[in-house]
Each structure stands twice: as C-alpha cells, then as structure tokens.
Structure 1
C-alpha cells in the first residue's frame, strides 16, 4: 500500500468517516440533540410520558455516544496512522542509506584487498613504521570486517 492510499473506504483526506457511516453518525447525533431539546421544552408532560421519553432518550443516547466515539476515534486513529507512515518512511530512508553504506564499505574493502596484498607493496605507503605490527593494518582491518 502506498502512502497516498486511504484506509477508510476512499474518503477525502480531511473527513473522518465515509459515506453511509458518516450520514448515520450525524443523523443519530441530530436525533439525540432533537430529543434533548424537545424534553427541555416539553415540561408539562405527565410522569408516565416522561418515563417513556427518558427510556427512548437513553437508548438513542447510547447510540449517539457511539457515533460521537466513531467520529472522534477515526480522527485520532487517522493521525496515528499518518504518524506511523511518516516513521516508516523515515525508517525506509535510513535503511536505504545503510544499504548504500554497506555496498560502499564492501567496495572499499575489495579495493583495499586488491591494492594491498601480503608480500607486495602494491604502491601503497605503510601507515606505521612499527615492525611489531607485522602486515598492513588497513588490509588486516578490511579482512577482519569483510572476510571472504
């Protein structure tokens, strides 16, 4: 999946939910708010009517809170996905740079091995005049880091 594809059913980048889910969420929230407003202004209803309306309000309220949770939850999740995609792209960039460094290091080791073979000078100047070191230290390092 590329970084430009959407995981929310093809919604626009700025929206949280797509299509029917968004319509249902907004409708449920609007119905809940409508019931609240109606109950606030219908204060002269009987006790039985109030009890029944509160039961209806409670069930609509549960669905409305789920809809609000879906709206806010998808927004938060979308931000997390965007952050993780950015981290993944940065990791891929670092991995590519590390792969290039590995290839360059192997090329350098091969060049050192080719120009500094034991027993010949190869036109290379020794890095140390200490006879206790034995062979060429650069060649020894290349052989240790990149064994054949």
Structure 2
C-alpha cells in the first residue's frame, strides 16, 4: 500500500487541497453534463436561457480547470527552480571557499616575497646564492601573479 504524502507547501505557490481538487473535478463533470443537456434540449423554447446560464457556468469551470491544472504545472516548475537554486548555492559556497583559500595563498606569497630570504645578510651561513636567486625570482613571479589575480583592497 502506498503512502499518501501531503502537498509540499512552498511560499508563493498555491496548492489545492483534496476538497478543492474534488470541487474542480465536479465542476468539470457538471460542465460536460450541461453540454449534453444543451444538445438534447436544442429544440426547447428555454434553450436561449440555458445558453445564457451556460456562459456564466463556463467561466466558473474554466477557472476551476485553470486552478486544477495550473497549480500542478506551477508546482513542477517551482520544484525545478528550487533544486537549481540549491545546486547554484552549493556551487557558490564552494567557489567562495576556493576564493578564500586563493586569497590566503596570495597573502602568504606576498609575505614570503617581502621577507628576507633565509640566510640573506648573514655571510658564511651556508646559503647558496644560485638557489636563493632562483627562489627569489620564482617568489617574485608568484607575488606578481598574486597581485594581479587578487588585488589588495583599497
């Protein structure tokens, strides 16, 4: 036996309850019966009055049909939009975290570029000038990229 789930209420979306759905279906059924009665009584002297009543009843039935079918279409579109919004929000959160990590990395590179190299200014401590120069060039390039990609706030 399948479990009947209540309609999910979403702000701004009208959800028809069981009573409203039944009322709309009954109105549609009565509309079909009314058309059959009009066809059967087309030779009746009261047909003009019935046709006049039919116009008012027709407006009511079309409103009920619009409510019945329109809410199901709208609900489907709303659920798709909500799912898409959730995915985009998760993606934005991931991008925000990546951006924060990138900015932190850029700050570390800037700090390393501005700090004296290890052993610099201390003669005879065993630093190899070629490695320090290459490292400084690489750090300087990274610092330039960090400044370009993550400009400092004014």
Q: TM-score, normalised by structure 1?
A: 0.71
Q: SS in structure 1 opposite 2:114?
A: coil
Q: SS in structure 1 opposite 2:32?
A: helix
2:113 to 113, 116, 120: 116
Aligned equivalents of 1:137 and 1:105: distance in 2?
16
- Residue 89 of structure 1 and its aligned partner are, at CA, apart by 1.3
Give yes or no for contact 1:8–1:18 (8 Å, CA) kept in 2: no
Which residue is 1:147 aligned to?
Answer: 152
Structure 2: gaps of 5 or more residues: 1-6, 119-131
Give yes or no for contact 2:16–2:68 (8 Å, CA) kept in 1: yes
1:84 aligns with 2:69: no
Q: SS in structure 2 opposite 1:136?
A: helix
Matching of residues 1-148 of structure 1 within 5 Å: 5-7=8-10, 17-43=16-42, 45-47=43-45, 49-118=46-115, 120-122=116-118, 125-127=135-137, 136-144=140-148, 145-147=150-152
- Residue 87 of structure 1 and its aligned partner are, at CA, apart by 2.3
Aligned pairs, number: 131
Superposed CA offset, 1:6-40 (max 9, x none): 2389x9xxxx6223321221121111111112222
Q: Which has the larger radius of gyration?
A: 2
Give yes or no for contact 2:41–2:47 (8 Å, CA) kept in 1: no
- Residue 5 of structure 1 and its aligned partner are, at CA, apart by 4.4
Q: CA RMSD in A?
A: 3.0
